[in-house]
Every structure is written in C-alpha cells, then in structure tokens.
Structure 1
Amino acid sequence: MNARGLLVVLVSVATAISVPAAAISQGFAGLGSTAEGFAVPRPGIQLRFPADHGPHPEFRIEWWYITANLESEEGTQYGVQWTLFRAALAPKTEGGWSDPQVWMGHAAITAKDRHLLAEKLARGGVGQAGVVAVPFSAWIDDWEMKGLPKPGADQLDKVSLHATGKGFAYTLELSASGPLVLQGDQGYSVKSAERQASYYYSQPFYKVSGSLDIDGKTVRVSGKAWLDREWSSQPLAKDQTGWEWFSLHLDSGEKVMAFRLRDGRGGYMSANWISSDGKPTPLPPGSLQITPLRTARVGDRNVPVAWRVRIPERGFDVTTSPLNDHAWMATTTPYWEGPISFNGSAGGHGYLEMTGY
C-alpha cells in the first residue's frame, strides 16, 4: 500500500546480517518498534521533486516499487514486479563498508501457469546498489531502473526497467501519461489509529512496452504499470499483523489505491480515488470495504486470493480475480504479490499484495 515491502525488507535484512531477534519483535516485521534516532514523517511537509525520487538515509526504510499488468501480441496476460528496498541499520551516515544502508531487490514475472521470481541483497557504500535522483538511476547489481526523461520533464516521466532471474528476464520502457499522485494528505500517509505514517507518492499512469524472456523464449508485451515510492521510520503500530494492498487501473482511466492494515480492532483502512487526469481524492475513514471471497492453498498456508472491494460513496463494487492463485514470493520472507482483474460496477486490471498469511 505501500506500507508494502516493509515486512520483506526488515525481516530479510535481519536474517541476512544476523540482527538480533529482539530488533524485529515489535509489531509486524518489527515495524512498530521505535524510530529512536531516525527522522519520522510529519504532516504539512511539502514533497520536493526531483530530490524525493532519491534516497532518504535519515529515515529507516524506503522503496521504489513497480508492478505492471501486461499482455502479449497474442493476448496472453502477464504481470511483472520490480522492487528496490533500502533499510538503515543505524541512524548515521558513513561511507564504504561502514555504510549502515542495506539494499534488497525483488523481481518477478507472473503468468497463468507460472510464477518466476528472484531476490538480491547488497550492502551500501560500495556501489553494488543505490539510487541517484538526477539523472535518475536505481540499481542492484545488473538490475536497473533508469530515467529517460525529455528535457524539462520529471525524472520519472520515462524510465527503462531491467531484471533477470533463473529462467526469466525482462526489459521494459515505461512512459507516464499523467502526473505524479500524492497519497494521503499531500503525501503524508497515515497507517494506524496511533498516527504512524509514511511519506508516499505514486506514478500510476505508466504505459509500458517491451519484452519478457521466459525459458529462452522472447515475448513482446504492452500494458500499464504503477510506481509506488514510500519512506518512513516507524510506519506501523505494534499490533498490526499484515496487510492487503490494491492498485487498480479502471477501464475508465481512473485509478484506485486502497489498503487494509490488519490489527486486533478490525483493521486500519485507507483509499484514494484518482481521476483520469490525475486528481487525487483521499476518501474519508470508513469508505473502504473489503471482503475475502475465495481462499486457495498456497504452499503450506491458506491465502484469500479473490476479494470483493467496495467504496459505496463512489458506487464502486467489484470482485477481483487473480491471474495465478500461486503468485507467492518465496523470498527470504514470503508474501503474495500478483496481477488481478476485476469486474462489477467497473472493470479493469491491477495488482494485489498480501502479507502476514
């Protein structure tokens, strides 16, 4: 939602570098632990571009997160994920091997009968991974998201995307047909009743073209993509146990961002209705209603893979269906992330992420 990725980063980092278990014992993936020494989001802060496309090392965690709904020339549906996470092990800035930043990348291709994924880990300070705001570049090893804007355009107006993994690779070009969208209150996105929050903005208007390589076969594809950018230091409450996050491209050209963070009180929900020309309308508390409709056995757990999503004040009432029930990210810390379609009061495609199952 993108509090998404939080689980993945902190637990994976802890595992990879042997952070004591106590450091990840509070809240979901330790994200309810205190942010002592780190900066925390405040309301009323104006986001600045292109600077905020780059890293914020004074905050504990952030990510650059792209999901794409794609179709081949023959009409076959695919989903693609590309994610770069940054986590700070300490609230300090040093260079070289003393740099406290840890980086992680996730990449995946999802088809109706396949889900291929890869994961990378890197330490900061040695050039193996990082992000530069201008000219924009985000990378980990040979995976890269690179800005290709026209002069005077936003650095993320046009980007190339590349990743490889066992049995797959992709090279895509993304061009924005609408503006950046600030989530929450002008980019200040509240995540709990205790007012934990993050800074959060999106680019949900990407048009995509490029190619996928699956088991040595090249497939030309086109479609739509959604970028989420988020950073924080203590974004969740101690009793929040996971989330469902939806990014929806409506056939009308409108977009919907919606999430539920599960807790012992029924969950904290948030939604943003985005017009076809990019105007966001954050919806008031209680606007979003989500209900699981079908559960699948995914590995050794039951996962709700089909949902009813309602926003009554907008007359929005849809049923979502996954392209592949088994879009399971079997990474250091596993989660479900995959392309979905939906129909009802509106039709379209999007992505769903679920953690804590």
Structure 2
Amino acid sequence: MSITDEDTGWYTDPDLVLPPQAGLSDKPGVDIHTDNITWTGDAKEMRLRAKVPEGTIDVTLRPRGNALYNMGTGYFPMFGDARYPNYEYALPTVDTSGTLTLGGRTQKVRGQSWLDRQWGPLPDIASGDAWWAWMSLSLSNGDRISVWNQKLDRQNNFATVLKPDGTQTVTEATLTPDRSTLWTSPTTGKSYPTRWKVTIPGEHAELNVTVHAKEQELVNTGPRYEGSAAVTGAYDHRPVTGSTYVEVTG
C-alpha cells in the first residue's frame, strides 16, 4: 500500500514482499488477508482495509459500467513474445467511499478507483534487458484507457480504449518520456521520468502526463516507479483532463 498527497507531495510506501499465495483463500470472489490488508467481496461490492504505519484506509468499492479487457480479450503476449503469456482486465470505474485515517485524524473519503488485475510469467527485469511503461487513463469525457509500451527484443506498444457505451477498441499508442524531467532515487540510484507525452493517433489524442509527486518509487519489488499523475491535453480534437497511475520499470 502506498499513499500520495497530491497537494504537498508527501508519500509513504511500506513495500512488503510476501511468499506466493500468501493471504489467499479458495473462496469465490476476492478474499485476501495479510498483516496489512483485508480485501473481500465480489464484482458487485468489495470491502478493503489497508494500513501503513502512518494510518489506515477503510473503504467500500462498488464497480459500475463495463470491464476493460486488455488487447480486447484480456490476453496478450508480454513484449509480443509467446514465452510470456499475460492476462489483464480492469474494472476502471469503481465508486469508492469510506474513511482515511492519517496521523490519528480520520476523515471521510469519496471518489473513484481503478481496479486492475494482471497475471502471467515475466522475465527478470533486474537484468535491464526488459522494461515496460503502463498507464491507466481515466478521462473527463468518460473514456478509460490502458496503455502499454513494452520492450524486450523489440518494442510492443498498444492501447485498449473503453468507451462509455461499453465498446472497446485496440489501437496504436506511444508513451514518450520527457528526459529533461528525470528524478533520481536517493535509495536505488535509478532515474525515472516525471512527465510523459501520450499519443494515440486513432483517437486523435495528444496527452500530457505529470506525476503529482516525484518520490513514488517501490524499492523491494523491482525496483520500479508507481505513482499517481494528472492528465491534460487534447482528445478527439477537444480539450480533456483526467487522472492516471503510472508504472515504469526502466
């Protein structure tokens, strides 16, 4: 669990590595119990309680609308390589309400969440031979987009676009980092861009992505960068805003 204050840039991320299958059960739906997370429910309603040393979030999640299936079916070969079959879907519009407690102060929270689920074999990213960048775009026009740029032996880029009416398209997309905005982690020495240009020609989209806080690195699982970011730009020849979560491994 990580928490980012998008106004001040404050960030915390007690990044715990658990053994395979830890906290899981054979019950249908979601039934996860670890030392710092309890997550139960189904596709209609879920309850999530997660804690960090600084506090706790306790929310109810109610998905609505359609699921987004990456590459249109929920299956794609990672890096375009059949050795790495991956599966991914999202519930991109999840009404969320509950409480957030930080520093002993509890306040009510309400908003929307993006629930993403991916599984499948991957190569060792620590070697530096493979890398990816992924974003989950929630736009003000109602479109929800999962964008992938992947590289192993060759580049593999695509976006899956979910429209408000439930239709989905798979199209070309690129995530271009602004190398002038690199942030270097004082912990790992790795450098990550903090701004990107997202281009989706099929949607006439030119989007700017800017992270809310530079220090959003997960150290123990990669390391890699995972952080919240703001979206502005043009989409289908109209101004658009939005939010996204950025995952970058290299």
TM superposition score category, shorter chain reference: 0.7 to 0.9
Q: For 2:165, what is the secondary structure of its paired residue?
A: coil
Q: Which residue of 1 aligns with 2:105?
A: 217
Shift of 1:260: 0.9
Shift of 1:279: 2.5
Q: Which residue of 1 aligns with 2:116?
A: 228
Higher relative contact order (CA 8 A, sep 6+): 1
Contact 2:15 2:218 in 1 (8 A): no
Normalising by structure 1, what TM-score?
Answer: 0.61
Q: Which residue of 2 aligns with 1:318?
A: 207
Distance in structure 1 (CA, Å) of the matches to 2:20 and 2:220: 20
Distance in structure 1 (CA, Å) of the matches to 2:245 and 2:20: 30
Following superposition of structure 1 onto structure 2, how do residues 269-280 of structure 1 map, counting pairs within 5 Å? Answer: 269-280=157-168
Q: Which 5+ residue runs of structure 1 have no aligned equivalent?
A: 1-106, 148-154
> What is the letter of the counterpart of residue 334 of structure 1?
P
Distance in structure 2 (CA, Å) of the matches to 1:213 and 1:171: 8
Contact 1:132 1:138 in 2 (8 A): no
| % same residue | 23
Asked whether 1:282 is paired with 2:170, we answer yes
CA deviations on 1:289-311 (whole Å, 9 max, x unpaired) are 22112222332332101000010
> What is the letter of the counterpart of residue 258 of structure 1?
V
Q: 1:269 to 1:210 in 2, by over 3 A?
A: same
Asked whether 1:144 is paired with 2:38, we answer yes
Distance in structure 1 (CA, Å) of the matches to 2:66 and 2:51: 29
Shift of 1:349: 0.7
Shift of 1:347: 1.0
Distance in structure 2 (CA, Å) of the matches to 1:146 and 1:118: 21
Q: 1:261 to 1:135 in 2, by over 3 A?
A: closer
Following superposition of structure 1 onto structure 2, how do residues 198-277 of structure 1 map, counting pairs within 5 Å? Answer: 198-234=86-122, 240-263=129-152, 265=154, 267-277=155-165
Following superposition of structure 1 onto structure 2, how do residues 94-109 of structure 1 map, counting pairs within 5 Å? Answer: 107-109=1-3
**In terms of Rg, which structure is larger?**
1
CA deviations on 1:316-344 (whole Å, 9 max, x unpaired) are 11101111111112335422111111101
CA deviations on 1:42-94 (whole Å, 9 max, x unpaired) are xxxxxxxxxxxxxxxxxxxxxxxxxxxxxxxxxxxxxxxxxxxxxxxxxxxxx
Distance in structure 2 (CA, Å) of the matches to 1:313 and 1:118: 39
Distance in structure 1 (CA, Å) of the matches to 2:175 and 2:18: 37
Superposition misfits of 4+ residues, deviation over 4 angstroms:
121-125, 234-240
Shift of 1:142: 4.5
Distance in structure 2 (CA, Å) of the matches to 1:204 and 1:281: 15
Distance in structure 2 (CA, Å) of the matches to 1:119 and 1:179: 31
Q: 1:314 to 1:301 in 2, by over 3 A?
A: same
Q: Which residue of 1 aligns with 2:198?
A: 309
Contact 1:247 1:350 in 2 (8 A): yes
Q: Which residue of 2 aligns with 1:95?
A: none
Shift of 1:120: 3.4
Q: Which residue of 2 aligns with 1:4?
A: none
CA deviations on 1:206-265 (whole Å, 9 max, x unpaired) are 111122222222232222211122222357999852211100100111101001113354
Asked whether 1:334 is paired with 2:223, we answer yes
Contact 1:288 1:311 in 2 (8 A): yes
Q: Provide the aligned length of Structure 1 versus Structure 2.
A: 237
Q: For 1:184, what is the secondary structure of its paired residue?
A: helix
Normalising by structure 2, what TM-score?
Answer: 0.85
Q: Which residue of 2 aligns with 1:193?
A: 80
Distance in structure 1 (CA, Å) of the matches to 2:89 and 2:71: 9
Distance in structure 2 (CA, Å) of the matches to 1:347 and 1:135: 33
1:291 counterpart (160, 172, 176): 176
Contact 1:191 1:236 in 2 (8 A): no
> What is the letter of the counterpart of residue 12 of structure 2?
L
Q: Which residue of 2 aligns with 1:353?
A: 247
Q: Which residue of 2 aligns with 1:117?
A: 13
Q: Which 5+ residue runs of structure 2 have no aligned equivalent?
A: 235-239
Distance in structure 2 (CA, Å) of the matches to 1:258 and 1:209: 27
Distance in structure 2 (CA, Å) of the matches to 1:350 and 1:146: 25
Of 232-241 and 183-192, the range deviating more from structure 2: 232-241
